[in-house]
Amino acid sequence: MSKNLSRSSSSAPRHLPWFVRSDARTWTCAPPPAEVRDFHAGQPGYAPTALTELPALAGELGVGRVFVKDESSRLGLPAFKALGASWAIHQVLSQRTNDGGRVLLVTATDGNHGRAVARMARLFGQHAHVFVPQGVHPTAVAAIENEGADVTLIPGPYDEAVRRAADAAADGRDAVLVQDTAWPGYERIPGWIVEGYSTLFAEIDAQLGAVGARAPGLVAVPVGVGSLAQAAVAHYRSRPAGPAPAALLSVEPDSAACVLASLGRREPVSVPTGATSMAGLNCGTVSSLAWPFLRDGLDAAVAVTDADSAAAVRTLAAVDVSSGPCGAASLAGARAVLTGEGAAERRTALAVGPASTVVLLSTEGTAANPHVQEERP
């Protein structure tokens, strides 16, 4: 059973766009490959990113403990994307039979994924071509170019950049599209990217265990096309014999809430996108590979404003957590759902109580989004 409380329940505030379903935690799926974390552990510079406990936030949110998974420095880059790009490129190269010839790795990006593909292409001795849509800050574009990639700027939204990248890869000799969204007929490489993200969740398990924390009662995940949320679902819904499963909350900009819209319709729908400081989440179409996992395994979805995200950035900065607008969206979403008018009903729907552990995925640092730095006094 599911319900869109922002539309169908009079007890929820009408200004909060959110969706919840009651049976997501009964759904199960196969686990990701165990060898992914071993691969990452063997990469130069690998170390688990910090899982930082924030007691003041636990008090604000009315829960037992709050932890932030800080992805502001992942394999030398300011966002989590290197996990997926490295594993996928490793898989692409290991399965090619061109006698070691160079491969052109093509992708589209709102910033972080493209830089990760460019960095990993260089480390693996390959070359990258990255298509960038309008709205990406010039400093982020320059960071991709500084990794040695060719960059093509697209005067259109993210979905158009993806189309252009796919066309370029199809037309190029020894070119491979390494995209973190899927569509019918293009799912194997996005699947490898999702597998790469599984290392992040394995780290969280170990880190919570090391400090004697309960298994998460709620995990908040920023969402663009849904690949990281798919990885979260695959991790937490593949352990039926373990502790009580976590409630999983996706968080999107209110100007690009394609997952929220799709869950409400129970089918994938594309939405027009507008300008948002959460540039890495400014996606109008759900990945076809992610959709079945999100449809069946997500407990809830919420959309937040740029102002909500900016406030969360400031909160995290005050406790020395470097988080850009996309990363801080997880805190903005948790605040929207767990506090304010209608919170009691939402908390009951998610089974979040005063003893629950909440994990917020901060997917990028401020270095990934120059807008944050410019806004600081």
Question: Which residues have a catalytic role annotated?
Answer: 81, 110
193 class by beta-carbon count within 10 Å (0-12 exposed, 13-18 middle, 19+ buried): buried
Please choose, from the candidates 354, 37, 28, 311, the residue with its C-alpha nearest in 3D space to the C-alpha of residue 195. 37
- Residue position matching structure tokens 């729907």: 349
What SS3 state is found at 254? coil
- HSE of 185 in the Cβ direction (CA atoms, 13 Å)? 2
Helix (H) or strand (E) segment spanning residue 343: helix 343-350
| CA separation for the pair 349, 9 (Å, rounded) | 13
Contact 122, 218 (CB under 8 A): no
Contact 252, 259 (CB under 8 A): yes
What SS3 state is found at 78? coil
Contact 285, 224 (CB under 8 A): no
Contact 215, 244 (CB under 8 A): yes
| CA separation for the pair 225, 81 (Å, rounded) | 13
Please choose, from the candidates 243, 224, 244, the residue with its C-alpha nearest in 3D space to the C-alpha of residue 181. 224
Point out which residues pair with 311 in neighbouring strands.
Answer: none
- Cβ neighbours for 49, distance < 8 A, ≥ 6 positions apart: 69, 70, 71, 72, 73, 74, 80, 200, 203
Backbone angles phi, psi at 151, to 5 degrees: -125, 135
Backbone angles phi, psi at 292, to 5 degrees: -60, -35
Contact 130, 147 (CB under 8 A): no
